[in-house]
Amino acid sequence: GAVVSQHPSWVICKSGTSVKIECRSLDFQATTMFWYRQFPKQSLMLMATSNEGSKATYEQGVEKDKFLINHASLTLSTLTVTSAHPEDSSFYICSASTDSQSLHTEAFFGQGTRLTVV
């Protein structure tokens, strides 16, 4: 199957700093990328959807100025957590979908990034 690579796998940062997480589709063009957040023992919660070359669509309750998403190319999307606080500590996961002519589209997920804000 297609590969989605997320970097870094884990990061520790100080409160008040910004952290950038990269999501790359290695062997396919990802027209759409999704960013999720997952707290311990909870399900994935969709944060935003981004299409290449356009602004991301954020889910209700997700601050767009705090979680900056850039989808500048068909193979790269970035999530920047600005002015991070301890409550932003979580597991962040990206996924990418291909532009398919069929009715169903499999999503491919990155391995996730564990963010710890101290």
Per CB under 8 A, residues contacting other proteins are 1, 4, 6, 32, 34, 36, 42-46, 49, 91, 93-95, 97, 99-100, 103-112, 114
Quick one: 31 or 75, whose CB is closer to other proteins?
A: 31
Per DSSP, helices labelled H in 12-93 are: none
Query: Minimal distance in Å, beta carbon 34 to other proteins?
Result: 6
The gap from C-alpha 38 to its chain's centroid, in whole angstroms, comes to: 11
Of 16 and 106, the one with the shorter C-beta distance to other proteins is 106
Comparison of 8 and 16: residue with beta carbon closer to other proteins: 8
Cβ-based burial of 54 (10 A; exposed 0-12, middle 13-18, buried ≥19): exposed
Stated as kind and residue range, the H or E segment containing 104 is none
